[in-house]
Every structure is written in structure tokens, then in C-alpha cells.
Structure 1
Amino acid sequence: MKEHSTRIRKVMTEVHARIAARTYLPGARIPSVRAMAQSMQVSVSTVVEAYERLVAEGVVHARRGAGFYVAGVAAPLVLTEVGPKLEHEVDPLWISRQALEPAGATLKPGCGWLPAQWMFEAGVRKALRATARSQAEQVVEYASPQGHPPLRHFLSRRLAGFGIDVPAEQIMLTESGTHAIDLICRFLLQPGDTVLLDDPCYFNFHALLRAHSVNVVGVRQTPTGPDIEAFGAALAAHSPRLYITNSGIHNPTGASLSPGTAHRLLKLAEAASLLIVEDDVFADFEHTPAPRLAAFDGLARVIQIGSFSKTVSASVRCGYIATRHDWIQSLVDLKIATTFGGGRLAADIIHHAITGSGYRRHMENVRMRLAIERDRTAEKLKALGIVPWLMPQAGLYLWCRLPQGKDAAALAKVCLDDGVVLAPGNAFSQSQTAGDYVRFNVAQSADARIYEVLARALNA
């Protein structure tokens, strides 16, 4: 009897979970008694009893001869309930919370940004002083709908340096790179659409796409970009609407897109009517620019986005979208609907900071320091049997494989107890096939205590 009751509760819990995840929306028919019994490997009588109890709770209602339907209104969106259940150690939202908490004594080789002392603090302070002397409108009023014109004109010239011919009129400023992707998703996607991501990819792409109730398919990443054969197979099997990627410096692997891969990818995208979002947030870390999909494509089906949070300041939030002329005004309307006025003050500060004489020298110094720390970090990790997948030419990250038999999530849990935040591989992997990988931020990995904690955890 107790076993039967447990099975009934199991079915009820499953239905509750699917409603919470918005898999079952109000008014939707839930699986038939027989289908649910088969999928959960329980008896039909168990499901009948579970459904009757759900009816008594007011969770579903029965229609004679037609089955059972979800009652009430949609459940509040709880992102942790959307998609497969993940352990804390590989949940993007949980990892982000740990990394964003004030540091204290915690060491954060798993975070995704430069240490505060590496950022362009002097330039930001100078820009703040200049902005403080601006006219009152610049300091207290809303921005124009597309955003600060001088910064948009600067971005137009900057993008031309990457071969992307886009006038300022086709550039819109946003509150951040994440805000840019969110607006594009609102513009292009409907719940149930399919989106392609690199596998592995930046873990917040996963978290953001949960909020848009879309299906996500991962495509294996190689040292020169996505695996083209797997990419073509995913297009044929899933008919995705959108592909989101980094192509300058890939997060988390540090790989760079090759011209050959870019050409083949765009041919496949054109044949499949696939749209592409190219996140260029790491552009200023490159020594030699990699190919840009937006340059080859001419912004026909590629949307270019970026921000300044990795190089200038994460506190002064400002990003951008560069896209085709017939889409920009609709994106502006979405921006107004969701934020009304953009950050005029933030855009002015960023413009002052990156157009001053000090920014170029600052980034030269950052690139040099990263090169030194990349070699040092790789050497220290290799001494522990942790080996980089490849040695990137630029950027913050090393994507590393653990010694055989070691699990990154378990390692992250032990290290967190010892005050070290790691970024385990499956946080970045849609297919959950990176269980023995960890992403290290070389700019955050200089402290010797990190390697002492890693050594203890690996030998535990």
C-alpha cells in the first residue's frame, strides 16, 4: 500500500513540475492515462488515482471523454524549474550567484571577468569627471531611442575595422550584451522555437533561453568553430530559427573561428534560413582579429552585438546591437516597451572612456598581462594533471580537462567549501558531455591558494 501511494505521489509531482516549468500551460491537455502510465512505468490505476487527486486539488480538471486539462493561470516563471534539473555545481544561475557575491576571502578562477585592478578604472574616473561637467540634459534626461549618437558613430567606425559595414543608423545601444540578446530573442523567437548553441558555450546563454521557453540544441565546438557536419545535421533535424555564438574569442574554449568554417557555416545558414547572433564582447582582447560572420554576411542574416563590461567597467552597463536597416526600428520599439529610455549617462561615460588616449594603451597592457598569466596558469595546472584543450592566442580563458576519472562538478563542490569558485564544464554544455572539463579565468588564477585547494580536492 505504501509503495502504491509513493507511485501516486511520483506522478503528481511530475505533473506539478511540468506545470511549474510551463511545459503544461493553462488549458493544455496533459498526457492520457495510458500514455503517462507508459512513460512513468507505473500502472494505469496509479495514474487514474493521481489525476483524480490533482482534480481534487484544483490543479487539473476532467472533460468527459476528452481527458484531463491544466486548470488556472500560468505558474510564475521559475527558471530553475525550466529544462532539465541540474545540480547546483553545474547550474548557470547558481554559478553566477556565487561569482557575483562580494569576494571577501573567496577566490574566483571560475568567474568570467577581469579583476577590478585590471579594468580601465583611470579612464572611467576621467570620463566621470568629464560627464559631470556636461550640460544638465546629458546627466539627468532620457537617452534618444537608439542611444547616444556619438557612441553609435564611434561603433560604426570600429566595426568597419572588422570588415562590418554598418552606418550608425543601424546601431542601437542597449543596457548590456545580455539585454541585447534578450531583445533579439523577443523580436525573433516564439515559445517552442529551436535555438542552436555551441557545445560548450557561455553558460548564461542557457539561462537566458530558459526564460524564452525555447528548445536548445548544442553543436560540438572545434578549435576552428562549430563542427560543420554536426551543424548541418542539426539544421536538418531541428529546423532552428536562431544560432547564438562568439566568433572572435570563443567562451569558454578560447577557440577562434576560421575563414573556411565561417564560409561553410554561412552557406548552411542561408540554405536553412537560419538567423545568427554574433556576440563580440571579447573583440578588444584579440591581437589579430578573427573572421567575423557579420563581415562575410553583410548583416543580411547575422546580427552583431557587444558590450564594454569585460574591458571598461561592469558597473557602467552599456551594449549595442548592429543589424539590418529594416529591423532596427522594431528593435527600438521593443527597447522602449521594456526599458523606455536607455542609459544616457552610461553611454556618455563609455564614449569618453574608449575614445580617450589611454584606452588603447590600457588594452595593450591587458593583452600582455593575459599572455603572461595564460602561460603561468597553464604550467601550474599541468603540474596537477589538468591540461588545456588548446592554448588560445588571446582572451581570458583556458578550457581544461581534468585527470582521468575526475568529475568537475564534484571538484567544484569540494573547492567551494574551501573558498574557491570553479566553473565546471557541464555548466557550459547542453549535452552534459563536459563533465571532466573546467574553465579557468587566467586573470583570476594567480593566487597560489587556488592550486593548493585544487591539489587537495584532486587527491581527496
Structure 2
Amino acid sequence: MAGRVDEVMSAIRERIAARTLQPGAKAPSIRAFAAAAGVSKSTVVEAYDRLAAEGVLEARRGSGFYVAGRSPPLALAELGPRLDRLIDPLWVSRQSLEAAPGTLKPGCGWLPSDWMPEDAVRRALRGLARAPHPNLTDYSPPLGVPTMRSLLSRRLAGFGLEAPPDQIMLTESGVQALDLVCRFLLEPGDTVLVDDPCYFNFQALLRAHRVEVVGAPWTPSGPDLDQFEQILIARKPRLYITNSGPQNPTGATLSAVTAHRLLKLAERHDLLIVEDEVYADLEAEASPRLAAFDGLERVVVIGSFSKTMSAAGRCGFVAARREWTEGLIDLKVATSFGGGGLAAELTQAILMDSAYRRYLSSLRERLARARGETLARLRPLGLTPWVEPAAGIFLWMRLPDGLDGGEIAQRALAEGVVLAPGEAFSASRGWRGFLRFNAAQSGEAPIYEVLDRAIRQAGAGR
């Protein structure tokens, strides 16, 4: 009975955290909740009594149970099903960001510091400091530094996308770009479609917007369009969020055929699309872009340079249809005022440095070697690639014998190795038998020693 009581308590807490049960609101009647949840009335009574003892509910004689106190602060970890925090999208991020020095992080999503173009960053900083009128202290215009937007317009043209500078808005990061687009396009309760698996912070951010997140199965050439269409018919999502270029976490790329069919479905079902360009510079030859085929009609492009340039001096952007620009500007002003121009000017200076282009070329070659070396070390441990990426940072690896990635990650974390279990990337809580590896962060031999032990121990415990 204790397990069912805990389930009822968690369900009520989730409703309060999501604010579907407000302070002072009456909790579902014991009879109604028992019938809906398929549990006994005594189970619900016990759960409600415990919540009342904790101060979450208050009992009113002859009337029932009511939500007590004020509305609690928004707790993203409480939204959605209760999960082991090792597979929670927010906690996976925090493990990597808060890791102590010396922690090995093959599960993180960025390059090691010594892989980044530090010399180019230093040159750009010195150049800004010597400039006659550097924007070191003032706000930038709401759209952002004009010369940087012109540079971005030319870069996007290289992907076949015509985006004039006045349809590009600079942001503090790629995450802020997505947040602003979600604020602009979504209302609480809307349905949003993501790839399954997808970048786990898409899910975390969407929780904050209190929308329903649905995953569409991903294949080596893009989303499974038959299932994609079924979801469009059944759930009528407002928005679809995806990566362009090497997809995170799988490393797969969208095919031109899939892109064309997907856009036809989007038009037929009035679906808007956000395409994240954050990994664009990791491809020597650009893979198909939805926005290039669509011309920013129903596709919004976001991106940043944190993965290839600097996560310390971040600069992101949004490229969208012209009539949306004013609304996005207003949201940016409301949430971050004018924004800072220093990071944008720093990013522009690095992009215009010829050394940065040479760096990207060498980085792609270095990543190709790292992917090959990482695969060669994982295969003897029984892991197999879902697809062998042509570019990018990530390898999406299947564990042997149906082992659980969350369990493997827990064992590895106890030995100072941060892994990224597959379930954290899945809106449907699937892909449990997978791990994502960052090839650039997977060069240390102890990673494989710890992984080998974790796999053996998990296998022996089955």
C-alpha cells in the first residue's frame, strides 16, 4: 500500500507545482481520485492525511481537503513524472556544470577548454580594448550590433538561407533565443513536438513554459514521418523544435527528402518549426536545412557559438519572419532590456579572424579522429553505435545485453565519471539502453576502465 500512497502524494504535488491546483483550491474528492487512479479510497485517505501533516493540504471538516498556503515557487524538477535525478534533464546538466576539477565528463555537451580557440579569443579581446570607441559599458540596440547581424546574414546565406539583417535579432545565448521564441509563440497547455531522442535541455526549458512535450521517433535520416503525421493529427502541436546539422544526441543528419516531406506536413497541419543551428560550424559541408527550403515562412532559426568559440562570451541569435520581429524585440526588452554588445562584438571579431576559419577546419579533422578512437575503445566493451556520424561531437551508443544507461551512469558517477544516459534525452522515457558520448571528452583511459566495471557490475546484478 505504501507505494500507492506515495504515488497519490506525488500526483497531488505535481498538480500543485504545475499550478493546476492553486492555493485554496479543493483537492479532488477521495472517491473521484480513487476511481480515476485505480486505487482504494483508503489509499487516497492515507495520502491526503500525510499531505495535510506536511502542510501541503489542509482538511476542512465536512468539506474535504484544500491546497494550503501560497503557491510555491516554480520547481521544474517537480513537473512531469518523478524521476531518478540521474536521468532528469536538469540534473544531467548540473552534474557536468558543477563537476569538481579532475572529474571526467564524457557525458557533457561541450568541447574541452584546450580544444577551443583561446588565442583567437585573446586577440579579439585585445583588439576591442584598443578600439577607439568600443562598446564596453553601454547597452546595445534591441536588435543587436548591426555589423554582427550583417555578418550573420552572410553566414546564413552560406546554408542557402536568405535572412536580411533586419530579420535577425541577437540574444545573450542560444538558450535565450529559444526561450524568447517560446514566449512569443506558446501558451501554457500548448503541445510541442520534439525529436525522440532530443537535446535534453529542450525538454527542461519547455517545462518552464508549462507546455505538453511529445516526442517523435528519430531515425538516421530525420523524424519518422509516418509517426510524425499521426502525432500532428492526434495532438495538434503548435511547435516542433529540432537540431539542424549533426543532431544532438545521435549525430544523425536530416535528408533532403525527409526535409521536403516534413515541410509539407507542417504546412498541412499549421505547424511552426524552430531549427537550432548551434552545431552548424562542425560540418564541412552543410546538411539540408528546413529554413533554407522554407525561407523563414514557418521555420525560425536560432543559434549561438558557445560550442565552437566560447561558452564564457556567449552570443546567440534568432532569424524569423519579418512580421514577428517587433514582437520578439519587445520580449527581449522586457526580459533583458537592450542586452550587452560586448559579447556580440567579441564574437564578430573572432568570426572575422582568418585563424578562426583555420581552427574550424582543424577542429573537424580532430573530431573525426576522436570519434574513430572513441568508437574503437567502446566496441570491445560491447557498445555499438546507432549511427556513425559524418560530423560533430556526439556518439549515440547502445549498451550490451539491454543494460540500463541510468544504472551505468550511477555506478560511473560514484567513481568520478559523468555519463549521459539515454532516457534523459527522451520525452517518452525510452532509449534506456543508450548512452551519449562526447568524443572530444572521451580520451582518458580511466573512462573506459570505470565504464567496463560499471557494465560488468550491472550485468552481474541482473
Same fold (TM over 0.5): yes
Matches within 5 A, 1:6-17: 11=8, 14-17=11-14
| Structure 2 counterpart of 1:198 | 195
Q: Find 2:433's aligned residue among 422, 428, 436.
A: 436
Letter in 2 for 1:381: L
Q: Find 1:332's aligned residue among 329, 332, 338.
A: 329
| Distance in 2, Cα, partners of 1:187 & 1:350 | 26
Matches within 5 A, 1:134-213: 134-135=131-132, 138-213=135-210
How far has the Cα of 1:317 moved from its partner? 1.2
Secondary structure, counterpart of 2:400 in structure 1:
coil
Secondary structure, counterpart of 2:214 in structure 1:
strand
1:344 and 2:341 aligned: yes
**Alignment check: 8 A CA contact 1:281 1:307 kept:** yes
1:222 and 2:219 aligned: yes
| Distance in 1, Cα, partners of 2:443 & 2:202 | 28
**TM-score, scaled to structure 1:** 0.93
| Distance in 1, Cα, partners of 2:94 & 2:49 | 40
| Structure 2 counterpart of 1:131 | 128
Letter in 1 for 2:278: V
Moved more, 236-245 or 21-30: 21-30
1:279 and 2:276 aligned: yes
**Alignment check: 8 A CA contact 1:225 1:247 kept:** no
| Structure 1 counterpart of 2:420 | 423
Q: For the structure 1 residues 12 and 371, does the alpha-carbon distance in structure 2 shift closer, same or farther, using more than 3 Å as the test?
A: closer
How far has the Cα of 1:383 moved from its partner? 1.1
| Distance in 1, Cα, partners of 2:111 & 2:394 | 11
**Alignment check: 8 A CA contact 1:396 1:441 kept:** yes
| Structure 2 counterpart of 1:105 | 102
| Structure 2 counterpart of 1:33 | 30
Q: For the structure 1 residues 13 and 113, does the alpha-carbon distance in structure 2 shift closer, same or farther, using more than 3 Å as the test?
A: closer
Q: For the structure 1 residues 119 and 49, does the alpha-carbon distance in structure 2 shift closer, same or farther, using more than 3 Å as the test?
A: closer
Letter in 2 for 1:38: A
Letter in 2 for 1:91: D
Q: For the structure 1 residues 54 and 358, does the alpha-carbon distance in structure 2 shift closer, same or farther, using more than 3 Å as the test?
A: closer
| Distance in 2, Cα, partners of 1:11 & 1:103 | 37
Q: For the structure 1 residues 131 and 382, does the alpha-carbon distance in structure 2 shift closer, same or farther, using more than 3 Å as the test?
A: same
Query: Aligned pair count?
Result: 456
**Alignment check: 8 A CA contact 1:182 1:208 kept:** yes
| Structure 2 counterpart of 1:266 | 263
**Over aligned residues, Cα RMSD in angstroms?**
2.3
How far has the Cα of 1:458 moved from its partner? 1.4
Letter in 1 for 2:168: I
Q: Find 2:116's aligned residue among 115, 119, 125.
A: 119
**Alignment check: 8 A CA contact 2:193 2:241 kept:** yes
Q: For the structure 1 residues 356 and 450, does the alpha-carbon distance in structure 2 shift closer, same or farther, using more than 3 Å as the test?
A: same
| Distance in 2, Cα, partners of 1:370 & 1:104 | 23
Deviation sequence 1:96-147 (CA, Å, 0-9, x none):
1111125522111101111111111111101100111234561110111111
**Alignment check: 8 A CA contact 1:196 1:242 kept:** yes
**Alignment check: 8 A CA contact 1:247 1:279 kept:** yes
Q: For the structure 1 residues 328 and 454, does the alpha-carbon distance in structure 2 shift closer, same or farther, using more than 3 Å as the test?
A: same
| Structure 1 counterpart of 2:303 | 306
Q: For the structure 1 residues 209 and 140, does the alpha-carbon distance in structure 2 shift closer, same or farther, using more than 3 Å as the test?
A: same
**Alignment check: 8 A CA contact 1:28 1:69 kept:** yes
| Distance in 2, Cα, partners of 1:45 & 1:296 | 59
Q: Find 2:360's aligned residue among 359, 363, 383.
A: 363
Q: For the structure 1 residues 391 and 49, does the alpha-carbon distance in structure 2 shift closer, same or farther, using more than 3 Å as the test?
A: closer
How far has the Cα of 1:15 moved from its partner? 2.2
Q: Percent identity of the aligned residues?
A: 58
| Distance in 1, Cα, partners of 2:408 & 2:6 | 34
Q: For the structure 1 residues 11 and 116, does the alpha-carbon distance in structure 2 shift closer, same or farther, using more than 3 Å as the test?
A: closer
Matches within 5 A, 1:41-52: 41-44=38-41, 47=44
| Structure 2 counterpart of 1:375 | 372
| Distance in 1, Cα, partners of 2:266 & 2:220 | 20
| Distance in 2, Cα, partners of 1:443 & 1:58 | 46
Q: For the structure 1 residues 13 and 203, does the alpha-carbon distance in structure 2 shift closer, same or farther, using more than 3 Å as the test?
A: closer
| Distance in 1, Cα, partners of 2:198 & 2:227 | 15
Moved more, 450-459 or 269-278: 450-459
How far has the Cα of 1:405 moved from its partner? 3.0
| Structure 1 counterpart of 2:460 | none
